[in-house]
Chain A
Amino acid sequence: MAGPGAIPAVRETSRQRRSTAALNPFASTKRGKLMPWIGIAPGLFLFVLFALVPAVAVIFLSFTNVSGVPNVPWRWIGIDNYVRFFGSGSTTANLWIIVRTLIFCLSVTVVLNCFALLFAVLMNNRIKGANLLRAVIFMPVVLGVTVVGLIWSLIFNPTGGPAASLWALFGAKSAFLGDPHLAFALIIFVQIWMSLGYSMMIYHAGLMGIPSDLYEAATVDGANAWQRFRHVTVPMIAPATTANVLISIVGSLQTYQIIFVLTGDRPTTSVLAMQIFTVGFGSSDQGYASAISIVQFVLVSAITLVALRFLRKKETQL
């Protein structure tokens, strides 16, 4: 029927057949195979337009001197933006920013997950008012970064704030968020406080899925509370742990909002995401901001992939 030239257009490769079958395994007609694509086309189009294209464009822009000023020509400058980040007078300061970003990520991820699991387990033991307590712990998530920032700015107000009054009871004084030795630790604390409810709810959902038979069997076998936690709870919530740890890592590596609200961009509290915001939006140096974005992307990807591999391995071991 069809001419020789038409055959390749109609004929599916085995690879295409596999992907189509995976998308719609029940499709037997051409129309049936096409419909899913038509269905996802609007969403796919928007994703490509507003997520994929800008993401790829950032890689390209990181090799240019684009300023963001309308009509101003920009040109290809090779790796100059990367040399500026890793090889200029700011190299040491920039490496410190990366170190501070990693400290922020590690502290938030470890402490947040420990406390989130602790609270989830405590709330799961049918204590009185568990629902109310869960709501209270979850509240900062609902409040959002700006309100949380405002609350803690008032608490840490060095003249007359509640924290200053508490400090004064011990005869001490502090500038709190203005103290270069203390400010970063306080930001980490606020970030953990703000994210605790969200992580706790993920652990709570994981705990709800553990059959009570397992705990009963372990109790019959003579396991104490710690042993039940270690050998029943921890393995059974491994998927929740993986999800929580990854969310914490990615979220904390990209955080700048709470830092911006609490201290602004200061040498002692700045992290990579804060640098991107300051350079990209405070000045018209968008090529350089794009280069820092790529540095951050590589860092986030590398850490996330290693963590994912490690956590998946642990899941199967448990």
Chain B
Amino acid sequence: MPKIRTRSRLAAAVALVAAAALATGCSYLGSGSSGGGGDTTTLKIFVHSNPPTDEGFKKINAAFEKANPGVKVEMTTAKGADFFTVRNTRLTAKDVDITEGSSSGGTQILPSWVKDQEQNDWVKGLAAGNWVDLSDQSFLKNFSDGIMKQFAYNGKQYAVPTGTSYITGVFYNKEMFTKYGLEVPKTWSDLEHVMSVLKSNNVSPFIMGGKDSWPAGAPVYGLVQSLWADPAQLDQDLWEGKASLMDPKVVELLTKVKTIYDNTAPNWAGIDYSSIPSRFVQGEAAMLPDGAWQIPAIETAGPNFKFGYFPLPGSDNAGDNKYIASKLEFSLSIPTSSKHQDVAKKWLAFYSDPKNYDAFIANSGFGPAQPGAKVPASVQEIQQYMPPSGFTPSWDQVFHPNRNAGPLAAIPFAYSSIAPLGTESDMSALAQQMQNDWKAGLH
């Protein structure tokens, strides 16, 4: 009997110790961004994983630590969809001091013509008071007014931009173009000529990472930019029922996308996006429709490789194909739950200093968000395609997706349904299906 009692007591003691350990562990995990011990303050930065910008941030962090003894910067990253889940979790746990507020496109408050849709996470968070007001911070003056306007919310500023990504252009292999006597195409007919010459020389005109599907959408943005004078108006007209996805122009766009797909490297629908820069450098194709964020990866794959970037000429009128449209890249913000807001502001000021920002933007592949920023030669060359205003938002930035529409029209245009990515080869039929799906979402 006493033996049994001793065992029971022992078991109870073990259970108590285990419970205490669990509670201690939980409380440790829940301690959030309390920083390190002693006089050291730990500033926690969390951004999505992108090797070129990660490198830029690491350099800034090292310089910031050097300039601010007693501050340790702890930067962590997460990939793809994981980023949003981890960010929301860390915001809830009050475990981050600087993170991405707007991930793309600035504030983007829904306009009046968009019905029955939810505001994006950034706007919801702003309305909930999740982000620190930075309006009175002098370092914001370093950034372009036009870009800062895109981030404004109720006349105040809560975000510090990183840059822009040119999205409607096409990379081309300069040596290959010279070899076959080709010029940068200015019209769709020019592009058809380029495709024809390359094919007759057994060179694939284009290459894209079709296995990941989304990279195949790059030509769509360029074609929308060329075929519609005001893509924002197209968005409004679609929502108000004044434009149809069966319009001849839509069929023209889909047909041109199909032409580009038909002129892309064999079996490209199964090629991984991550292998594209090295394949392009190795000469598997002469052109690559993609965002300029690929510049660092292309330069890494071929340090001596000569390439350029031109606007995708979707129209036969060269004047329609003059400019490259861009998207606003992610921005940096301070959560109101941050325990080190002053240090965080100091870090943002340090990052925004033109000298540090130049170093960040140099290897990021982004276009600059500061007017006088020094950019590398590859990005400098693209500046000739910038409109006088300095920034034109691309289709994905101006279009408002309809969550009630069918999948072919939730985000026009349904490039992933076009063969060989999808199964559709009849572009008029696809336009009809898109229109049906779009109409289903308009109440």
Query: In the complex, how many angstroms separate the beta carbon of B65 from the nearest chain A beta carbon?
Result: 29
Interface membership of B67, Cβ < 8 A: no
- Bitwise interface map of B from 5 to 42 toward A, beta carbon under 8 Å scored 1, else 0: 00010000001001100000000000000000000000
**A178 near B211 (CB under 8 angstroms)?**
yes
A100 to B265, CA, bound (A): 30
**A282 near B422 (CB under 8 angstroms)?**
no
Given A174-B267, A266-B416: A42 in contact with B18 (beta carbons within 8 A): yes
Interface membership of A18, Cβ < 8 A: no
**B403 near A267 (CB under 8 angstroms)?**
no
Using CB atoms, name the residue of chain B closest to A174: B267
- Bitwise interface map of A from 116 to 134 toward B, beta carbon under 8 Å scored 1, else 0: 0000000000000000000
- Please name all residues of chain B whose beta carbon is closer than 8 Å to the beta carbon of A209 when the two chains form the complex: none
Of the stretches A85-93, A219-227, A241-249, the one at the interface is A85-93
Given A177-B211, A179-B269: A84 in contact with B91 (beta carbons within 8 A): no
A90 to B417, CA, bound (A): 15
Given A71-B130, A177-B270, A178-B269: A267 in contact with B125 (beta carbons within 8 A): no
Interface membership of B407, Cβ < 8 A: yes
- Please name all residues of chain B whose beta carbon is closer than 8 Å to the beta carbon of A35 when the two chains form the complex: 8
**A159 near B407 (CB under 8 angstroms)?**
no
**A68 near B210 (CB under 8 angstroms)?**
no
- Please name all residues of chain B whose beta carbon is closer than 8 Å to the beta carbon of A268 when the two chains form the complex: 422-423
- Bitwise interface map of A from 126 to 164 toward B, beta carbon under 8 Å scored 1, else 0: 000000000000000000000000000100111100001
- Please name all residues of chain B whose beta carbon is closer than 8 Å to the beta carbon of A71 when the two chains form the complex: 125, 128-130
A176 to B15, CA, bound (A): 54
**B213 near A266 (CB under 8 angstroms)?**
yes
**B404 near A88 (CB under 8 angstroms)?**
yes
Query: In the complex, how many angstroms separate the beta carbon of B286 from the nearest chain A beta carbon?
Result: 17
A299 to B420, CA, bound (A): 32
How many residues belonging to B are interface residues under a CB distance threshold of 8 Å? 52
A129 to B269, CA, bound (A): 41
Interface size class of A (residues with CB under 8 A): 35 or more
Interface membership of A171, Cβ < 8 A: no
- Bitwise interface map of B from 211 to 228 toward A, beta carbon under 8 Å scored 1, else 0: 111000000000000000
**A159 near B88 (CB under 8 angstroms)?**
no
**A264 near B212 (CB under 8 angstroms)?**
yes
User: Which residue from B84, B405, B420, B437 sits with its C-beta under 8 Å from A175?
Assistant: B420
Interface membership of A6, Cβ < 8 A: no
**B267 near A158 (CB under 8 angstroms)?**
yes
A sample of 14 more A-B contacts (CB under 8 A), given A67-B124, A173-B266, A175-B271, is A69-B125, A157-B270, A158-B266, A158-B269, A159-B271, A164-B267, A175-B210, A178-B268, A179-B269, A180-B420, A267-B416, A267-B422, A282-B84, A284-B88
| Listed A/B pairs (17) with beta-carbon separation below 8 Å | A42-B18, A67-B124, A71-B130, A88-B403, A88-B404, A92-B406, A159-B266, A174-B267, A174-B270, A175-B267, A175-B269, A180-B423, A266-B213, A267-B407, A267-B417, A267-B422, A281-B85
